[in-house]
Amino acid sequence: MTRDGQGEQRTMQGSQRDDQFRSFAETSPDLFVRVDREGRIRYLFPANRTILGLAPDTVVHRHYLDFIRPEDQAQAQQAFALLLGGAHAIELILQMTGQNGEPVWAEIHAARWFDGETLAGVQGVVRDISDRKVQEDVLRHNNQVLNAQVREQHEELLDNTVLLQNLLDTTSAGIGILRQGRFQYLNEHLVRMTGYPAVELLGCHWSQLFAEESGKSGFPSGWPPPESGLLQAVESRWRRADGSVVDVLFSAVPLVTGDRSRSHDASLTVLDVTAEKEAERQLRAAFSELEQFFNVAVPLCLLSLDCRVLKFNQAFGDFFHCAGEETLGRPGAEIWGCEGCGTDACPVSQLQAGASRSYHAVNTVVRGRYLACTLHAAPYVDAAGRLSGTVITFFDSRELNKVSADLLATRQQLIQAERLSAIGSLAASIAHEFNNPLCGVRSVVERMARKSEQVTLGQDLLQLALENCDRMSRLIRDLQQFNKPFCDDWKPFDLHRAIDSVLLLLNKHLKVRKAVVRREFSLEPLLLDGSENQIKQTLLNLIKNSGEALPETGGEIRIRTCREGGRIRIGLSDTGGGISEEHLPHLFEPFFTTKAAVKETGLGLSVSYGIVKAHGGEILVESPPGQGTTFTVILPAGIGNERQGDGHAAGIHLDRR
Q: How many CB atoms lie within 10 A of CB 627?
A: 14
CA distance 158 to 221: 42
CA distance 592 to 451: 44
Which of 62-71, 148-157, 647-656 holds the top average pLDDT? 62-71
CA 434 to chain centre: 67
Which of 34-48, 184-198, 633-647 holds the top average pLDDT? 184-198
Q: Where are the domains of the chain?
A: 3-128, 171-278, 295-396, 402-478, 483-655
Q: 411-456, pLDDT tens digit by residue?
A: 555 544 444 444 444 554 555 556 556 566 656 656 665 565 555 5
CA distance 614 to 484: 7
Cβ atoms 335, 366 nearer than 8 A: yes
Local confidence band at 5 (pLDDT 50, 70, 90 cut-offs): low
Calculate the average pLDDT of the chain. 77
Residue 587: closest CA among 550, 541, 551: 541
Q: What is the pLDDT of residue 82?
A: 93
Q: What is the pLDDT of residue 417?
A: 44
Q: What is the pLDDT of residue 483?
A: 40
First to last CA, the chain: 139
What contacts 264, CB < 8 A, 6 or more positions away? 179, 180, 227
What is the arrangement of strands in the sheet containing 31-36, beginning at the earlier edge strand?
41-44, 31-36, 118-128, 103-115, 89-97
Residue 205's region, left for phi above 0, alpha for psi from -120 to 50, else beta, is beta
3.30.450.20, 1.10.10.10, 3.10.270.10, 3.40.50.2000: which CATH number matches 3-128? 3.30.450.20
Q: What is the pLDDT of residue 39?
A: 92
Q: What is the pLDDT of residue 54?
A: 76
CA distance 464 to 445: 11
| DSSP secondary structure code for residue 141 in this structure | H
Q: What is the pLDDT of residue 424?
A: 45
Q: What is the pLDDT of residue 423?
A: 47
CA distance 43 to 56: 9
C-alpha radius of gyration, the chain, whole number:
59
Residue 210: closest CA among 202, 200, 220, 201: 220
Cβ atoms 499, 532 nearer than 8 A: no
What is the pTM assigned to this prediction? 0.33
- 324: pLDDT strictly greater than 80: no
Local confidence band at 356 (pLDDT 50, 70, 90 cut-offs): confident
Local confidence band at 262 (pLDDT 50, 70, 90 cut-offs): low
Q: How many CB atoms lie within 10 A of CB 232?
A: 9
Q: What is the pLDDT of residue 432?
A: 54
Residue 222's region, left for phi above 0, alpha for psi from -120 to 50, else beta, is left
Task: Kindly indicate whether the domain formed by 402-478 is annotated with CATH number 1.10.10.
Answer: no
- 481: pLDDT strictly greater than 60: no
Q: What is the pLDDT of residue 216?
A: 45
Length of the chain: 657
Phi, psi of 356, rounded to the nearest 5 degrees:
-85, -25
- How many helices (H) and strands (E) in the chain? 16, 23
Q: Which has the higher per-residue pLDDT, 459 or 194?
A: 194
Residue 51: closest CA among 73, 24, 33, 71: 33
- 639: pLDDT strictly greater than 50: no
CA distance 349 to 71: 102
Q: What is the pLDDT of residue 570?
A: 95
Q: What is the pLDDT of residue 196?
A: 92
To the nearest 10°, report the CA torsion of 269, 270, 271, 272.
-170
Mean per-residue pLDDT, 490-494: 89
SS3 311: strand
CA distance 105 to 96: 6
CA distance 543 to 476: 23
Local confidence band at 112 (pLDDT 50, 70, 90 cut-offs): very high
3.40.30.10, 3.30.460.10, 3.30.465.10, 3.30.450.20: which CATH number matches 171-278? 3.30.450.20
Domain at 483-655: CATH architecture? 2-Layer Sandwich (3.30)
In 3-state terms, the chain is what percent helix, strand and coil (to 5)?
A: 45, 30, 30
CA distance 132 to 326: 110
Q: C-alpha distances in angstroms, 231 versus 172, 256, 268, 270, 623?
A: 20, 16, 10, 12, 74
Residue 332: closest CA among 377, 296, 383: 377
To the nearest 10°, report the CA torsion of 48, 54, 60, 63.
-100
Handedness of CA 177, 179, 181, 182 (dihedral sign): negative
Cβ atoms 312, 300 nearer than 8 A: yes
β-strand partners of 41: 35
Residue 42: closest CA among 18, 59, 66, 17: 59
Mean per-residue pLDDT, 600-612: 74
Q: What is the pLDDT of residue 640?
A: 38
SS3 630: strand
Mean per-residue pLDDT, 628-650: 62
What contacts 549, CB < 8 A, 6 or more positions away? 574, 576, 577, 578, 628, 629
Identical fold for domains 171-278 and 295-396, yes or no, is yes
What contacts 505, CB < 8 A, 6 or more positions away? 540
Local confidence band at 607 (pLDDT 50, 70, 90 cut-offs): confident
Residue 324's region, left for phi above 0, alpha for psi from -120 to 50, else beta, is left
CA distance 482 to 480: 6
To the nearest 10°, report the CA torsion of 378, 379, 383, 388.
130
Q: 359-381, pLDDT tens digit by residue?
A: 888 877 777 777 788 888 899 88
CA distance 639 to 194: 76
Cβ atoms 409, 395 nearer than 8 A: no
Query: What is the assigned CATH class of domain 295-396?
Result: alpha beta
H or E element in which residue 69 lies = none
Q: What is the pLDDT of residue 370?
A: 78
Local confidence band at 121 (pLDDT 50, 70, 90 cut-offs): very high
